[in-house]
Amino acid sequence: MERLNLKSRSDRYGSRINRVHSPLRARIVPYASIMIASMLPALFMAGAMPVTPPLGFIVLLGWRMVRPGLLPLWVGLPLGAFDDLFSGQPFGSAILLWSLTMLVLELLEERFPFRGFWQDWFTASLAIVLYLLAAMAASGTVPSVFHLTASGPQALLSILLYPIIALMVATLDKYRLSRVRVIR
């Protein structure tokens, strides 16, 4: 009879013993990542027209698309208020736009429960462009050909950045649900 190699068996299964999910980390990671992403564009200020994408909004879309049902519908209000403090937009614009986005995405989720990456990217792209146009209107800018042309690079960069942010959100979700060692 062959003898079992106990060392390799303990290596395989020993890492799972005394490990549990951290409920604090499971709750904080999505909100903290959105809030940090809302603060990042403040570091890169441009002169006349915005160049940096609305990272907080894109991370919110990423969490909503990667993990539907994780964020409650009302989360657009507090996170939008936090984004309004850092974005320079009139207070209440992100509250309204983020809340409307969460409601529309919930309706789309009910209508089309099974989606793929390309549908999510298209939905996020449409939401980003509509968000940028609505944020431009909320700031009091009269839309002209010049303003739409100048905000084109921001919209294009935001759309191209979504898959990277969705991958980052998926990685953060793995971290959020990873197990931590319990010491007794």
CB atoms within 10 A of CB 51: 15
User: Which of 67, 49, 70 shows the shortest CA–CA distance to 132?
Assistant: 49
159 vs 124: CA distance, rounded Å? 8
Q: How confident is the model at residue 69 (pLDDT cuts 50, 70, 90)?
A: confident
pLDDT for the residue numbered 19: 67
Side chain identity, residue 9 = R
pLDDT for the residue numbered 48: 63
Give per-residue pLDDT as tens, 76-130: 999 999 999 988 888 999 999 999 999 999 999 888 888 888 999 999 999 999 9
**How many CA within 13 A on the CB side of residue 155?**
18
pLDDT for the residue numbered 87: 84
Whether pLDDT at 146 is above 90: no
Whether pLDDT at 27 is above 60: yes
Within the chain, what is the greatest distance between any pair of CA atoms?
Answer: 83
Whether pLDDT at 10 is above 50: no
Domain boundaries of the chain, sorted by first residue: 14-182
* Mean predicted confidence (pLDDT) in 137-142: 85
pLDDT for the residue numbered 20: 75
CATH for 14-182 is 1.10.1760
pTM of the model: 0.84
**How many CA within 13 A on the CB side of residue 118?**
0
70 vs 105: CA distance, rounded Å? 13
* Mean predicted confidence (pLDDT) in 154-173: 95
